[in-house]
Amino acid sequence: MKRILVTGGAGFIGSHLCTELLKEGNKVVCLDNLFTGSLENICHLMPDKNFEFVRHDITAPYKIEVDEIYNLACPASPPHYQYNAIKTIKTAVIGMINMLELAKACGAKILQASTSEVYGDPKIHPQPESYWGNVNPVGIRSCYDEGKRCAETLMADYHRQENVNTKTVRIFNTYGPNMAINDGRVISNFIIQALKNEDITIYGNGTQTRSFCYVEDLTEGLVKMMNSSLTGPVNLGNPSERTILNLAELIIELTLSKSKIVYKPLPADDPMQRQPDITLAKTHLGWEPKTDIINGLKQTIEYFRECI
Ligand code: NAD
Ligand code: UDP
């Protein structure tokens, strides 16, 4: 039985990961400051004697004996990470140092939840791990993008200099149940708007693209990466790319909504296109997503129907 620390474990992806790791027979310590996560996401795990919740902020050091650390703690939606940009970059960078020091002290493997945002507004399409990205260092997304880039640097340096067993994954847009109602990302916004028959707010003209991965596929990839001999970075995402306008139309169709589409200004530095090249994950982890967008959206719509 492994002892595993999941930071950000009460969040959207973290709560699915905790569930999966417990199912596999591990002891899981979920550490979270509940900034964007919630106890509702993990309340079903509380009775499990192998599960423990600790309210803690990773910008402060934390001591525990564990075999593995999944570092997911960080607000991930643009409205949430821009709410307190300085706190976001502290979480990404100081939090990363604290977790790497912990990994070093107890000899644990550590996996960092990095992001496709390290590619910025990419000039290479689809994005392979070898691409260094096109990121504005002083824009409104920089606290997150540059924070995550610096965290990747720290992972690489603790591996080279301190021999820490590090694993970096670059997660592309992921969606599914347990996203917060006020999350602000596109899939949760569109589904909630559609279910309430309110206007669907497209930022810009809707021709920008994203590639959406269902959360169960993603968590399987995280566990495979932790159990592999790779250090990464490795892209994890669903290569099926679509425009934001197409996504809005699909959600209207699946919810039988009467919502109309309205257009709002595109936020600064909003990437125009994004699609993962997952050759590395396919070849070396034997991983690829299985859930198509229709099935994934149907399950997510059912979740939000219960929430609102
Ligand atoms: P989320 O906001 O639902 O989860 C983040 C969790 O971290 C929350 O529970 C929050 O309370 C916690 N947290 C934030 N700051 C903290 C701090 N200082 N100390 C302790 N806990 C803190 O977001 P998510 O979508 O589940 O994202 C999880 C991780 O995956 C993040 O690191 C994010 O950057 C990364 N990621 C997610 C996506 C995606 O599409 N969902 C894409 C790329 C990367
Ligand atoms: N978006 C939108 N309407 C919304 C929320 C987001 O049109 O209500 C757009 C956003 O401008 C971006 C895309 O959808 O082009 C994905 O946004 P999200 O915040 O989900 O993720 P990210 O931009 O970080 O990939």
Domains of the chain: 3-179+212-239+275-290 (3.40.50.720)
Ligand nearest to the CA of 115: 1
- Residue 152 token pair: 């990747």
Q: Tokens in use for 36? A: 């964007």
Structure confidence by residue, pLDDT tens digits, 16-54? 999 999 999 999 999 999 999 999 999 999 999 999 999
Q: How far is the CA of 183 from the centre of ligand 2 (A)?
A: 11
Nearest CA among 175, 140, 122, 112 for reference residue 304: 175
Instruction: Give phi and psi for 73, each to the nearest 5.
Output: -65, 115
Query: Mean pLDDT over residues 234-239, rounded?
Result: 98
Distance separating alpha carbons of residues 127 and 248, to the nearest angstrom? 24
The Cα–Cα gap between 113 and 99 comes to 12
Residue nearest to atom 22 of ligand 1 (CA): 73
Task: Check pocket membership of 221 for ligand 1, CB cut-off 6 A.
Answer: no
Q: Which residue has the tokens 């490795």?
A: 234
What angle do the packed helices 215-226 and 12-23 form, to 10 degrees?
A: 60
Catalytic residue among 119, 144, 158, 175: 144
pTM: 0.98
Tell me the backbone φ, ψ of residue 121, rounded to 5 degrees.
Answer: -95, 95
Active-site residue 144, yes or no?
yes
* Residue 260 Cα to ligand 1 middle (Å): 31
Question: What local confidence, expressed as pLDDT, does residue 168 receive?
Answer: 98
Q: Are 275 and 209 in contact (CB under 8 A)?
A: yes
Give the mean model confidence (pLDDT) for residues 268-288. 97
Substitution candidate for ligand 1 out of 36, 110, 186 with most atoms within 8 A of CB: 36
Average pLDDT of the residues in 159-169 = 98
